[in-house]
Amino acid sequence: MIPIDPVSIYFTIPATDHLGKNEVKGKVRFLESYVELSWRLTGSVFTGGKGEMTTVELPYSEIESVEVVKGWFSIKKLILRVGDPQKVKQMPAVNMGKMELFIDSRSKQEAKRLGDIVDFKRSEFILDAHETRLKAMRDE
């Protein structure tokens, strides 16, 4: 395995209601062997406070696709699709494992490196899976 530098991206998912109680703030970290997704609800205008931090570890085999969406002048959001929607079902505004993460301004430079890293890690996983199958076929 070739070591990679982790990529950390801060994100927001806008509130789905008018009071703003379902707004999500978090960070997604693309580490060497898995993706770490940490998030919390920010609370509404009336209740204030922040929700409890939730962290989910996703192996690269669970990441179906990562799409970086660009606006006029910079990167706007990250669309992340997860193979098993049950792993992210607690996160608001996630539809069948598809998350639209609006990238914070402090993470725009990091997001530019993202596509290549995820493609590389997925290809490593696919290669390992093929080698495992070939070994199993040889051992039969």
Specify which residues 34 forms β-bridges with: 59
The whole-angstrom separation of Cα 42 and Cα 48 is: 8
Mean of per-residue pLDDT scores for the chain: 79
Does some domain include residue 2? Answer: no
- Domain membership of residue 133 (yes or no) is yes
Helices (H) and strands (E) in the chain, counts: 2, 7
Q: How far, in Å, CA of 93 to CA of 35, rounded?
A: 19
Q: Which domain holds residue 82?
A: 7-139
Provide the whole-model pTM. Answer: 0.72
Instruction: Examine residue 117 and state whether it is found in any structural domain, yes or no.
Output: yes
Q: Are 86 and 27 in contact (CB under 8 A)?
A: no
Asked if residue 123 belongs to a domain, the reply is yes
Mean pLDDT for the stretch of residues 108-136: 75
Does the residue 75 lie in any domain? yes
CATH code of the domain in which 20 resides: 2.30.29.30
With respect to residue 127, please indicate whether it lies within any of the assigned structural domains: yes
Percent of the chain with pLDDT over 70: 85
How many domains in the chain? 1
Give 11-35 pLDDT, tens digit per residue: 988 887 776 677 889 998 988 888 8
Residue 1 included in any domain: no
